[in-house]
């Protein structure tokens, strides 16, 4: 540590390479300073972690990568090694080992592209197949990006409250092709989240597993894509995907769930896909598993188009609604097969236009309604 209110830095690299095969411990004393960094890389640097990085302290970071170094006045230091030095203004991070943080507001990996006029590819961070990021503090984040491309192919463990597996903003791209595990939240109003953005220009891709406990959100964002092997499983009073995008038209899918993908939600007002906003287009071929007293799809925006076409028959228990919409200007088209084995279920409950082109078999049980519009 440096003996100040700011935490120490384990390794700093400028226009170079870091390949950690050992153990880096920063601020692991009994009193940890804030804002510590395990590996800090800038300006064309490449970082590979094959070992272990352990960092304590509030607002600390395991690996921090920034395209350009900034000076004391927060100005980018451009062409620091001459205008002919290739590869400046970029950063690349690859984690194949373990990163562990226990501080409040800590981040496992943070990649930032501060080079003006460039795309997100100038800052890339990947948690590889053998990589594992673990956070235990409140409001901690596994991976974060700003105008960056962040990819998880390994495992992210979110064990603290108000935590997030992956977060990005400023026209970034987020991809989960590994596993994100999020612990149950102790408060329904402060859920833990698997993948999160409030930026309309940051696109989310989930191609594998997001597993959450009670009071969690699998994905919270705008434009969301689920691949063939994408899976979201969350507990009671949780939401699989929440999207609040504002779009000029509904011609292009804004929530696109591929055939073979799966969303499973628990009981007690859980929701598989919850959309608000304007001109959303939800195109879903996902297999939807709905707990009792819960919903498959909830639409509360305007001008929303929902199309469901699961190749797997959807079976519900008790007190469920497969598709619920308060959008008077919206449309629902269902091609999925719906079957009830319990009572008091609704297949489709819509304030707008609804069309059923699938089979709805709600004959068993009491008080079931196939379609209400």
Alpha helices in 64-112 (DSSP H): none
Q: What's the mean pLDDT in 336-365?
A: 96
Q: How far apart are CA 69 and CA 14, in angstroms?
A: 8
> What element of type H or E holds 145?
strand 141-146
Q: What SS3 state is found at 122? A: helix
Q: Please tell me the predicted confidence (pLDDT) of residue 2.
A: 33
- Per the DSSP assignment, residues forming a β-bridge with 349 are 324, 372
Using the predicted structure, report yes or no on whether residue 106 has a pLDDT greater than 90. yes
Band (pLDDT 50/70/90 cuts) for residue 373 is confident
Using the predicted structure, report yes or no on whether residue 22 has a pLDDT greater than 90. yes
Band (pLDDT 50/70/90 cuts) for residue 230 is very high
Q: What tokens does 329 get?
A: 């200007």
The tens digit of pLDDT for each residue in 194-223 reads: 999 999 999 999 999 999 999 999 999 999
Lowest mean pLDDT among 27-41, 176-190, 235-249, 334-348: 27-41
Using the predicted structure, report yes or no on whether residue 160 has a pLDDT greater than 80. yes
Q: How far apart are CA 59 and CA 10, in angstroms?
A: 15
So where are the chain's domains?
41-53+95-100+114-372
Q: Please tell me the predicted confidence (pLDDT) of residue 4.
A: 35
Q: What's the mean pLDDT in 288-292?
A: 98
DSSP code, position 246: B
8 Å CB contact between 12 and 36: no
User: What percent of the chain has a predicted confidence (pLDDT) above 90?
Assistant: 91
- Cβ atoms within 10 A of the Cβ of 365, count? 15
């Amino acid at each position: 540590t440096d003996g100040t209110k700011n935490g120490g830095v384990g390794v700093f690299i400028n226009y170079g390479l870091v390949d950690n095969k050992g153990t880096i411990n920063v601020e692991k004393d009994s009193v940890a300073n804030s804002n510590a960094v395990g590996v800090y890389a800038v300006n064309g640097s490449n970082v590979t972690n094959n070992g272990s990085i352990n960092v304590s302290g509030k607002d600390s970071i395991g690996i921090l990568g920034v395209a350009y170094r900034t000076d004391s006045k927060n100005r980018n230091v451009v062409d620091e090694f001459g205008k002919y030095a290739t590869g400046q203004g970029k950063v690349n991070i690859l984690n194949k080992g373990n990163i562990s943080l226990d501080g409040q507001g800590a981040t496992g990996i943070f990649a930032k592209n501060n080079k003006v006029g460039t795309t997100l590819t100038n800052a890339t961070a990947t948690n590889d197949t053998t990589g594992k990021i673990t956070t235990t503090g409140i409001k901690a984040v596994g991976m974060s990006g700003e105008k960056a491309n962040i990819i998880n192919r390994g495992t992210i463990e979110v064990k603290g409250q108000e935590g997030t597996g992956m977060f990005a903003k400023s026209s970034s791209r987020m991809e989960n092709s590994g596993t994100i595990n999020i612990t149950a939240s102790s408060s329904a109003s402060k859920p833990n989240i698997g993948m999160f953005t409030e930026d309309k220009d940051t696109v989310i891709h989930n191609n594998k597993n997001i597993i959450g406990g009670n009071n969690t959100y699998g994905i919270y964002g705008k434009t969301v894509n689920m691949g063939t092997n994408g899976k979201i499983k969350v507990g009671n009073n949780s939401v699989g995907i929440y999207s609040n995008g504002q779009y000029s038209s509904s011609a292009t899918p804004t929530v696109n769930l591929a055939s073979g993908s799966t969303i499973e939600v628990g009981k007690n007002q859980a929701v598989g896909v919850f959309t608000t906003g304007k001109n959303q287009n939800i195109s879903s071929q996902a297999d939807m598993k709905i707990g009792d007293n819960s919903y498959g799809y909830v639409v509360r925006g305007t001008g929303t188009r929902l199309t469901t076409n699961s190749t797997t028959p959807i079976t519900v228990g008790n007190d469920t609604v497969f598709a619920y919409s308060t959008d008077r200007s919206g449309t629902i088209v269902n091609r999925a097969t719906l079957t009830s084995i319990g009572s008091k279920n609704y297949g489709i409950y819509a304030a707008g236009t609804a069309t059923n082109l699938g089979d709805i078999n709600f004959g068993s049980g009491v008080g079931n309604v196939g379609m209400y519009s």
